[in-house]
Copies of this chain bind each other. A is one copy, B any other.
Amino acid sequence: MFNAIGDAHRRRVLDALIAGEKPVGDIVVGLAMPQPQVSRHLRVLSEVGLVSCRKFGRRRLYRLETDRLRPLHDWLGQYEQVINDRLDRLGDYLHELQGQGDHQ
């Protein structure tokens, strides 16, 4: 999942779906990307559950599965905490080293 959103094109595809579910063609037009490429990215996103798909006529409507972003949200949360904690840790390791008698 983390890997899936590591790609800029894939993020753009996801972004294109924020407004609601869309058929592939709309994404293709909106992002000016070749259709096979969009389909492939959608496949990757689908494999990790970030999007789902349903048929509608001869189209396939893709929609976000925002729940799947939860791991990312949780992971990021750890760091937000660190940000808030902002007791300047400068020199932490020095003290740790001194405690071990292993300084320098």
Q: How many copies does the complex hold?
A: 2
Known: A2-B8, A5-B2, A76-B73. A89 touches B20 (CB 8 A): yes
Chain A interface, >50% SS class: helix
Interface size band for A: 35 or more
Q: Which residues of B contact A82 (CB under 8 A)?
A: 18, 64, 66
18 more CB-based (< 8 A) A-B contacts, given A11-B75, A14-B79, A61-B93: A2-B5, A2-B6, A3-B7, A5-B6, A18-B79, A18-B82, A20-B89, A23-B93, A56-B93, A56-B94, A57-B104, A63-B89, A64-B79, A66-B83, A69-B76, A72-B72, A73-B76, A76-B76
Q: List 30 A-B contacts (CB under 8 A).
A: A2-B5, A2-B7, A2-B8, A2-B11, A3-B6, A3-B7, A6-B6, A11-B75, A14-B79, A15-B78, A18-B78, A18-B82, A20-B92, A20-B93, A21-B90, A21-B93, A22-B93, A56-B94, A57-B103, A61-B93, A64-B79, A66-B79, A66-B82, A66-B83, A67-B83, A69-B76, A72-B76, A73-B76, A73-B80, A76-B76
